[in-house]
Amino acid sequence: MTWDVALILSIDGLANGAVYLLAGLGLVLIFSVTRVVFVPFGDVAAFAALSLAAFEAGKMPATVGLVLTLAALAVATEVVALVRRREFARIPMAIAGWGLLPALPCLLAWLIAGKPLPAAVPILTSILLVVPITPLVARVALQPIADASALVLLIASLALHFLLSGLGLLFFGPEGSRTAPLATWVLSLGDGFPISAQVLLMITSAIVLSGLFFLAFERTVTGKALRATAVNRVGARLVGIRPARTALLAYGCASLLAGLIGVLISPVMTMYYDSGLLIGLKAFVAAIIGGLTSYPLTAVGAIAVGLVESFASFFSGALKDVIVFSLLIPALMLRSYWATHSEEETEEVDQ
Amino acid sequence: MNRITAPRLGLGIAVALLALAPAALGNFAVALLNDIGIAALVALGLVLLTGVGGATSFGQAAFVGIAAYASAWLTTAHGVSPWLGLLFALLVTGAAALAIGALTLRLGGHFLPISTIAWGLSIAMLFGNLEALGRHTGLSNIPALRLGPWSLADARSIYYLIWVLVGLATWFAYNLLQSRTGRAIRSLRGGATLLASVGADAFRVRLTLFVTAALFAAVAGWLYAHMNRFVSPTPFDMHASIQYLLMAVAGGLGQLTGALVGAALVLVLKNGLQDLLPLLSSRGTQLEAVVFAALFILLLHHARGGLMGFLTRWTRGRFAADAAASKPAAPVAPVAALASRTLPQRGTPVLSVNGAVKRFGGLVAVNDVSFDVKAGEIVGLIGPNGAGKSTMFNLVTGALPMTAGQVRFLDQNITSLPQRTIARMGMARTFQHVKLRPQMSLLDNVALGAHARTHAGILAAGLGLDGHEEQQIFDEARRQLTRIGLADRAHELAGNLPLGTQRILEIARALAADPVLLVLDEPAAGLRRKEKMALGELLRRLREEGVTILIVEHDMDFVMKLVDRLVVMNFGSKLVEGPPAAVRSDTRVQAAYLGSVA
């Protein structure tokens, strides 16, 4: 391996790392607020990419059907819950919030589909289209068991991934697609060393977004409410924070991140309905290096995972994923070595 | 019909039905039953590992795969007998599980299940990328099993082998759970501190359990390879692992039968869906995954106990009254009591704490505390809230490492020894926050205390060869239960006791360890007056028998009447030490408790 190759691989790795950083942020956000390890995160990103591809092909994305199906399910869940609690007055609001609001991006998609518009419009629409997905599936599948053990939530979230990827296959079909690059110019570094704008864009957006996240969490009341829920749900409830609402916010933000990842990654990688899992899991490895709680360490982990992946693919393309996942073992061991040994009891098995 | 025999009757009918099934059913149904049997083996391991042991595995199919590929490779590449393949498969799978377990089982909370996703995925990817294993095409022409002159190539003949193995595995698992190791496994969910307090190593127990579950999966993998005579990576990926977990959850993670019921439920449903869905939609096969995932989520929402959990709840409600009466002490030949320690001579030092310091960051919780406890005396450790008593207890028992100072127990320096070793030396404790196993009977809870005094391992337990020792353990446990006056409730669940009584039960568990020094953390809290008097009586009787007791307690009346000496702590330091009367009249103690006269 020469220095040139190493440099190319490093830049590749940084671009990958940028994606994992964004995904890792989303995972940490969801986990810290809801204790859910959100496995289907990558699926949402894949849906954004596939939506963009559909727009580029001049078609209406299948995401619209998916979102509307999920919205119908969420409305049904919410209405049933309200009827059970006999709070009939809140039903119209529930229908508006869970049914109509998610339908807005679908309406936008319907309006612009097949029309020649500047590239930014379908990109933004693709992102907006997937934003409702995470809050909707969480409302239907996770919120009813929000107080269950972290383990039950993990199992549910894994099942949710299979549900979403199954729906993905149903709605999008098995074909993969790749979208047009977001930017085409190439930056020459030093003696004619090229860096594509796409890579720069990925890295810049990761840096800017993680900065924004940091500011939002440290400086705003909403950010503090999210952190408070993360630390102690009961305590947060006592001071007037509604865990269900902060959870919704976390899911929404994460969904937005997933959408961004989808449109950033789709020009450099052919996306299929099930490509999300590997992106999500690699972001996990990063998030776990950060202990699923620390944002800065997650960033370090993301870059490490990206670099390992790109160098591993140079040595063995077939085994690169195996190598990345093997990285998890030392990371986890370091984690458990550092972790304070607090005595935690697992809940009793339900009879 | 006598209800006690109802489970046996059910078992008899089930065995008879299974034995007759191939004669009555068509080829398709027999093949389905074969699949169910193989899946049940894997699910059985998961029920043990996840349901009982509390460690979720999302990678169990990888172990099935390792075994299937191991046997397939050995029998195709080297042409040896599939029975040798079984041995090889068990060896390779066991070694892999041991290595993976040793690396990951120390992980706490959600990290462990996440790590299982990682290796589950990696191993399945490896199968598809190794040249020797045929990459994505897999290995074919695997020889069928032969039993002497009979070939087990066709579904009807391998049927009996599969179900005999399922029966053996269930029997092994059942025996295991009733044993010494089984009680430790059932206590894993109570935390490592609980196990360490009875001298057991939670990590080792969990590793044993993990390897056992993997070996169950290995038998399934071996059967799979030689039944289908073809292996490829797909049936061993994470999708399959999730399906095994679904079986265990659907059947009921709490019961061994849940594995069988769950495997049957899921596979029959899967077959039904494969027939039905194509009729409803042209994308039937794609819908299958969606339907399954949705069912799984619904199951987690509404029936986390699974079908057998539901049945158990239902029958318990009906037959609860009989449960206690249905288990009379079986009339068996009496056995010798468990060997007990010789207690040290009265008056010799048992425990001496020398300049103990514990800092939590800037907070000094225990500051240079020294005291001695001599054999046969009761020493009370008292002090206002936040004085550092519980921290002191944790330092003595080894639950927390000391910042500085030394603790000697029975003339040995135990300062840096792990809790488990100290417990095995003869220091037994109870907890301020009760650590009992609520779903285990009183008797089982107390029997756990005798863990360090006995030796039977997992093999002896699973094969039912530990009867003698088990009887010794239960004799001892009954003796201790009688001592604390709960003998008549021996078969009730510990979780049904009031909190005060649970504390007393912890004392019985500690006594079952045959301790030299009994360390009690607020044993009288939550007891009524009469119960307190009975407890005081019990502790005095123990002192007469030569047991040394160190006790933290808030009830001054109780402590003053009981102890020989008191050590008073305040703000982490020792204030006074002496007999109760002297301590009571000490002005510094009065100031610490009541505030000083300004």
The number of beta carbons lying within 10 Å of the beta carbon of residue B413 is: 11
C-alpha dihedral, A314 to A317 to A320 to A323, nearest 10°: -80
* CB-CB contact of B509 with B449 (8 Å): yes
Cross-chain residue pair B294–A329, CB shorter than 8 Å: no
Has residue A275 been placed in a domain?
yes
Determine which helix (DSSP H) or strand (DSSP E) holds B395, and give its type and residue range.
Answer: helix B389-397
**In A, residues 135-174, which contact B (CB 8 Å cutoff)?**
141, 144-145, 148, 150-152, 154-156, 158-160, 162-163, 165-167, 169-170
- A321: closest chain B residue by CA: B122
Question: Residue A190, class by beta-carbon neighbours within 10 Å (0-12 exposed, 13-18 middle, 19+ buried)?
Answer: exposed
- Nearest by CB to B286, from A37, A158, A170: name it: A170
Residue A350 pLDDT: 41
Structure tokens at A325: 């996942």
| For range B294-312, the mean pLDDT | 82
Cα B197 to Cα B555: distance, rounded to the nearest angstrom: 25
- Nearest by CB to B189, from A155, A170, A345: name it: A345
- Nearest by CB to B304, from A152, A169, A339: name it: A152
Cross-chain residue pair A162–B239, CB shorter than 8 Å: yes
What is the distance in angstroms between the Cα of A123 and the nearest Cα belonging to chain B?
A: 28
Residues of B in contact with A328 (CB under 8 A): 114-115, 118
Select the highest-mean-pLDDT range: A74-78, A151-155, B13-17. Answer: A74-78
Last residue of a domain, one of B266, B295, B318: B318
Last residue of a domain, one of B278, B295, B318: B318
- Nearest by CB to A163, from B111, B121, B293: name it: B293
Residue A351 pLDDT: 38
Question: A190 falls in which pLDDT band (50, 70, 90)?
Answer: low
Percent of chain B with pLDDT over 70: 94
Which residues share a beta bridge with A267? none
The number of beta carbons lying within 10 Å of the beta carbon of residue B79 is: 8
Residue A172 has pLDDT above 90, yes or no: no
Decide if A69 touches B, using CB distance below 8 A: no
Has residue A81 been placed in a domain?
yes
Cross-chain residue pair A37–B114, CB shorter than 8 Å: yes
Decide if A287 touches B, using CB distance below 8 A: no
Residues of A in contact with B126 (CB under 8 A): 319, 322
Pairwise pLDDT comparison (A297 vs B563), residue with the higher score? B563
Q: What is the DSSP string of B182-214?
A: HHHHHTGGG-HHHHHHTT--HHHHHHHHHHHHH
Determine which helix (DSSP H) or strand (DSSP E) holds B231, and give its type and residue range.
Answer: strand B230-231
Structure tokens at B596: 């000083």
Last residue of a domain, one of B264, B296, B318: B318
Phi, psi of A119 (to 5 degrees): -55, -30
**Nearest residue to B510 via CA among B544, B487, B540, B476:** B476
**In B, residues 146-205, which contact A (CB 8 Å cutoff)?**
189-193
- CATH at B535: 3.40.50.300
* CB-CB contact of B74 with B88 (8 Å): yes
Phi, psi of B255 (to 5 degrees): -125, 145
- CATH at B31: 1.10.3470
Tens digit of each residue's pLDDT (9 = 90 or more) over A2-26:
887 888 888 888 888 898 988 988 8
Which residues share a beta bridge with B549? B378, B518
Q: Is the ipTM of this complex over 0.95?
A: no
What is the distance in angstroms between the Cα of B354 and the nearest Cα belonging to chain A?
A: 25
Q: Lowest-confidence range among A78-87, A254-263, B63-72, B316-325?
A: B316-325
Q: Quick one: CA dihedral A64, A66, A67, A69, positive or negative?
A: positive
* CB-CB contact of B179 with B165 (8 Å): no
DSSP secondary structure letter of residue A131? T
Pairwise pLDDT comparison (B2 vs A324), residue with the higher score? A324
User: In this structure, are B414 and B518 located in the same domain?
Assistant: yes
Cross-chain residue pair A344–B125, CB shorter than 8 Å: no
Residue B590 has pLDDT above 70, yes or no: yes
Residue A43 pLDDT: 92
Residues of A in contact with B115 (CB under 8 A): 328-329, 332
Residues of A in contact with B54 (CB under 8 A): 346, 349
Residue A345 pLDDT: 41
Residues of B in contact with A347 (CB under 8 A): 189
Has residue B329 been placed in a domain?
no
Residues of B in contact with A350 (CB under 8 A): 254, 304-305, 309
Task: Please report, for residues A164, B10, B255, B301, the alpha-carbon distance to residue B250 in angstroms, rounded to integers and kept in the order given.
Answer: 21, 20, 11, 12
Residue B326 has pLDDT above 70, yes or no: no
User: In this structure, are B509 and B410 located in the same domain?
Assistant: yes
How does the average pLDDT of chain A come out, rounded? 83
Residues of A in contact with B296 (CB under 8 A): 155-156, 159, 162
Decide if A235 touches B, using CB distance below 8 A: no
Tens digit of each residue's pLDDT (9 = 90 or more) over B338-361:
777 788 888 888 999 999 999 988
Has residue B7 been placed in a domain?
no
DSSP H helices, chain A, are 3-34, 41-56, 63-84, 91-94, 101-112, 120-130, 133-137, 150-172, 197-219, 221-231, 233-238, 243-265, 276-289, 295-315, 320-326, 328-338
Cross-chain residue pair B114–A288, CB shorter than 8 Å: yes
Structure tokens at B95: 């070694």
C-alpha dihedral, B135 to B137 to B138 to B141, nearest 10°: -140
Q: Is B382 helix (H, G, I), strand (E, B) or coil?
A: strand
Indicate the residue type of B360. F
Number of C-alpha atoms within 13 angstroms, CB side, residue B457?
Answer: 4
Tens digit of each residue's pLDDT (9 = 90 or more) over A263-321:
888 888 888 888 888 888 888 888 887 777 777 788 888 888 899 888 888 887 778 88
Residue A12 pLDDT: 85
How does the average pLDDT of chain B come out, rounded? 86
Decide if B111 touches A, using CB distance below 8 A: yes
| For range B472-489, the mean pLDDT | 88
Decide if B304 touches A, using CB distance below 8 A: yes
| CB pairs < 8 Å spanning A and B | 147
How are beta strands B230-231 and B150-151 bridged, if at all?
Answer: unpaired
Has residue B338 been placed in a domain?
no
Residue of B133, B280, B296 to mutate, interface with A, max A Cβ within 10 Å: B296
Number of domains in chain B: 2
Has residue B334 been placed in a domain?
no
Task: Compute CA A337 distance to the chain's CA centroid, rounded to the nearest angstrom.
Answer: 28
Residues of A in contact with B257 (CB under 8 A): none
Residues sharing a CB contact under 8 Å with residue B51, sequence separation 6 or more, in sequence order: A349, B248, B252, B253, B254, B255, B258
Pairwise pLDDT comparison (B411 vs A190), residue with the higher score? B411
Cross-chain residue pair B114–A162, CB shorter than 8 Å: no
Residues sharing a CB contact under 8 Å with residue A196, sequence separation 6 or more, in sequence order: A181, A186, A187
Residues of A in contact with B113 (CB under 8 A): 151, 154
Decide if B136 touches A, using CB distance below 8 A: no
Residue B108 has pLDDT above 80, yes or no: no
User: In this structure, are B30 and B101 located in the same domain?
Assistant: yes
| For range B88-96, the mean pLDDT | 95
Q: Quick one: CA dihedral A34, A39, A45, A50, positive or negative?
A: negative
Question: A324 falls in which pLDDT band (50, 70, 90)?
Answer: confident
Residues of B in contact with A165 (CB under 8 A): 289
**In B, residues 311-350, which contact A (CB 8 Å cutoff)?**
312-313
Has residue A104 been placed in a domain?
yes
Domain hosting residue A73, numbered range:
3-177+187-338
| For range B247-253, the mean pLDDT | 87
**Nearest residue to B217 via CA among B37, B386, B428, B38:** B38
Cross-chain residue pair A319–B125, CB shorter than 8 Å: yes
Number of C-alpha atoms within 13 angstroms, CB side, residue B175?
Answer: 18
Which residues share a beta bridge with B150? B147
CA geometry: angle B489, B490, B494, nearest 5 deg: 85
* CB-CB contact of B569 with B388 (8 Å): yes
Residues of B in contact with A148 (CB under 8 A): 300, 304
Decide if A289 touches B, using CB distance below 8 A: no
- B298: closest chain A residue by CA: A141
Has residue B398 been placed in a domain?
yes
- A343: closest chain B residue by CA: B191
Number of domains in chain A: 1
Pairwise pLDDT comparison (B542 vs A333), residue with the higher score? B542
Decide if B108 touches A, using CB distance below 8 A: yes
Pairwise pLDDT comparison (A72 vs A114), residue with the higher score? A72
The number of beta carbons lying within 10 Å of the beta carbon of residue B456 is: 17
Tens digit of each residue's pLDDT (9 = 90 or more) over A27-51:
888 888 888 889 899 999 999 999 9
User: In this structure, are B309 and B361 located in the same domain?
Assistant: no
- Nearest by CB to B245, from A155, A165, A292: name it: A155
Question: A336 falls in which pLDDT band (50, 70, 90)?
Answer: low
What is the distance in angstroms between the Cα of B25 and the nearest Cα belonging to chain A?
A: 34
What is the distance in angstroms between the Cα of B59 and the nearest Cα belonging to chain A?
A: 12
Cross-chain residue pair B300–A322, CB shorter than 8 Å: no
Which residues share a beta bridge with A194? A188
Has residue A349 been placed in a domain?
no
* CB-CB contact of A209 with A257 (8 Å): yes
Has residue B4 been placed in a domain?
no
Pairwise pLDDT comparison (B549 vs A6), residue with the higher score? B549
Structure tokens at A57: 């092909």
* CB-CB contact of B255 with B309 (8 Å): yes
Has residue A346 been placed in a domain?
no
What is the distance in angstroms between the Cα of B290 and the nearest Cα belonging to chain A?
A: 5
Q: What is the DSSP string of B315-356?
A: HHHHHHHHHHHT-PPP-----PPPP-PPPPPTTSEEEEEEEE
Residue B316 has pLDDT above 70, yes or no: no
Secondary structure, 3-state, B491-526? CCEHHHCCHHHHHHHHHHHHHCCCCCEEEEECCCCC
Has residue B342 been placed in a domain?
no
Cross-chain residue pair A343–B191, CB shorter than 8 Å: yes
What is the distance in angstroms between the Cα of A153 and the nearest Cα belonging to chain B?
A: 9
**In A, residues 330-349, which contact B (CB 8 Å cutoff)?**
332-333, 335-336, 339, 341, 343-349
Domain hosting residue B314, numbered range:
25-318
Residues of A in contact with B239 (CB under 8 A): 162
Residues of B in contact with A313 (CB under 8 A): none
Task: Please report, for residues A146, A199, A206, B45, B376, the alpha-carbon distance to residue A189 in angstroms, rounded to integers and kept in the order given.
Answer: 50, 13, 21, 57, 82
Pairwise pLDDT comparison (A190 vs A252), residue with the higher score? A252
Residue A133 has pLDDT above 90, yes or no: yes
Cα A290 to Cα A284: distance, rounded to the nearest angstrom: 9
* CB-CB contact of A24 with A329 (8 Å): no
Has residue B339 been placed in a domain?
no
Residues of B in contact with A141 (CB under 8 A): 297
Dihedral class, residue B568 (left if φ above 0, else alpha if ψ from -120 to 50, else beta) = beta
